[in-house]
Amino acid sequence: MTSTSLAAVDAYHGLLTDSLGQESGGQLDEQLRLRGLYFGDRPLCSVLRPRFFSPAQWHMLQARSMVVLRAFRKAHRAALADETVLAQFRLEAWEHALVHVDPGFRDPSPVSRLDAFFVGDDGLQFTEYNAETPAGGGYNDALAELFYALPVMRRFVKEWDVRPMPARHNVLQALLDCWEQFSGGTTRPRIAIVDWAEVPTQSEFRLFQDYFRRQGYACDIVTPQALEWSAGALRSPHGVVNVIYKRVLLHELVEREGLDSPILQAVRARAVCMVNPPSCKILHKKASLAVLSDERNAALFSPEERQMIDATIPWTRVVESRSTVHAGRQVDLLEHIAAHREQLVLKPNDEYGGKGIVLGWEAGDGEWQAAIATALDEPYIVQQRIVLPTEAFPSLVEGRVQLIDRMVDTAPYVAGGDYLDGCLTRLGTAALINVTAGGGSQTPTFIVERR
């Protein structure tokens, strides 16, 4: 953290007496319940402090991200133009066919999110790129509004300027920008937020639906099963759908509804504008970080991009039998993975919620060898371990405020594929920080400056 953010944290904690903590915590719990801010049956937030960025921290994150995002876009273009590059992303056969479908607009991932960690005084590491269905933006906006009204914040803002980092507006602008490119006109589209009825993020869909409607756009939450493809149009029980805000994962859609589902028929016929489109799967694969950091792809990127990739992306490779470069020297990849368990993590190429991830430093030798065998049978990446940053966050424990160190995941939202606006903060006490996996907490992110 910078001196500004450290001072803000100290000032906030200094205000948070047990009595003020009880008052603020009681209001927080009440508002979470009244607003339905739950992930499934768990409240979204279990801490009494937001995440604070100084302006300098945020500007640094923006500047470094823009260079990396430019490299991602170059890798995507190269993959569509060259089958040897595309093969490095390890797409399934059905994905390979769909990524070439023209979505009717330019960017393959108009709505996306980076997963990053601040390391040391000025270091930054990007460990994943969610380029398909990034969640949490609506939750962040709602939590920011809630925290503004807490009793402790009322005292804090008297000496500190506190600015939120909303995300919903960029989702709407991305949908509308894609619709304008797709339709060539300015008519107002009907938006459908599409996912399964049983997913735990239904409460966030309602936040987006409410926001879209307040901005004057018709919006419905529908399941894939409720959509019909007929007479050249995609229809929901509420009418013709013009724009899909796709929250359903493509691989789940294909598994349950097939390649000829109404949605995919409409997409292939250019009858509906779907955000994000099938071509998002290229960059969404965790192998995308391997493509950027692999020495054999260096010619795809400018010197500035290569320098930023080296500085911000942990060494990452697709697990396979080959020779590669690690720390400047040639190594046998499989031998290196087997010999350096405590410094490596294995991740499935396309999973979420922490599923299938094996942390080498928490695995025994036998478990690690079994994980390597699994990684050779199905697409996996191996990634260099990073030291996860921690911050002390206050929580109420038996009526008293206690500061507990939590690992902090920085997940900024990407607008239009090339700049940051809005940021999700996830907290955890385990090495795997993931709300979907059943642990951790979200807290809103603010930019702070002393008044």
Structural contact between residues 420 and 414, judged by C-beta atoms closer than 8 angstroms: yes
Question: For 441, which DSSP code?
Answer: E
Statement: residue 418 has pLDDT above 90: no
Please tell me the predicted confidence (pLDDT) of residue 215.
Answer: 97
Please tell me the predicted confidence (pLDDT) of residue 438.
Answer: 42
Statement: residue 437 has pLDDT above 50: no
Tokens representing 314 are 């942990």
Q: What are phi and psi of 266, to 5 degrees?
A: -65, -40
Tokens representing 28 are 């927080």
Tally of helices (H runs) and strands (E runs) in the chain: 16, 24
Statement: residue 87 has pLDDT above 70: yes
> In Å, how far from its chain's centre is CA 48?
23
- Cα 172–206–69 angle (5° rounding)? 40
Contacts of 22 (CB under 8 A, 6+ apart): 396, 399
Summarize the confidence of residues 209-230 as an average pLDDT: 98
Tokens representing 348 are 């499935």
Statement: residue 434 has pLDDT above 80: no
Statement: residue 152 has pLDDT above 50: yes
Please tell me the predicted confidence (pLDDT) of residue 436.
Answer: 44
Please tell me the predicted confidence (pLDDT) of residue 435.
Answer: 43
- Locate tokens 């902090």: which residue? 408
Peptide bond into 434 cis (omega under 30): no
β-partners of residue 365 are none
What number does CATH give the domain 3-283+415-450?
A: 3.40.50.1760
Q: What average pLDDT does the chain have?
A: 94
- Locate tokens 């995609």: which residue? 234
Query: From CA 30, how far away is CA 152, in angstroms rounded?
Result: 15
Statement: residue 258 has pLDDT above 70: yes
* Coil vs helix vs strand at 358: strand
Q: With bands split at pLDDT 50, 70 and 90, how would you rate the model's confidence at 416?
A: confident
Statement: residue 354 has pLDDT above 80: no
- Cα 75–334–388 angle (5° rounding)? 65
Q: With bands split at pLDDT 50, 70 and 90, how would you rate the model's confidence at 3?
A: confident
Q: What are phi and psi of 74, to 5 degrees?
A: -65, -40
> In Å, how far from its chain's centre is CA 167?
12
Please tell me the predicted confidence (pLDDT) of residue 114.
Answer: 97
Q: How much of the chain, in percent, has pLDDT values that exceed 90?
A: 90
Summarize the confidence of residues 203-215 as an average pLDDT: 97
| Residue scoring higher pLDDT (4 or 162) | 162
Structural contact between residues 352 and 363, judged by C-beta atoms closer than 8 angstroms: no
How many alpha carbons lie under 13 Å from residue 451 in its C-beta half-sphere?
A: 10
Q: Where are the domains of the chain?
A: 3-283+415-450, 284-384
Residue spans of alpha helices (H) in 130-249:
137-148, 151-156, 168-183, 202-214
Query: From CA 258, how far away is CA 363, in angstroms rounded?
Result: 37
Q: With bands split at pLDDT 50, 70 and 90, how would you rate the model's confidence at 431?
A: low
Summarize the confidence of residues 327-333 as an average pLDDT: 96
β-partners of residue 161 are 449
Question: For 436, which DSSP code?
Answer: T
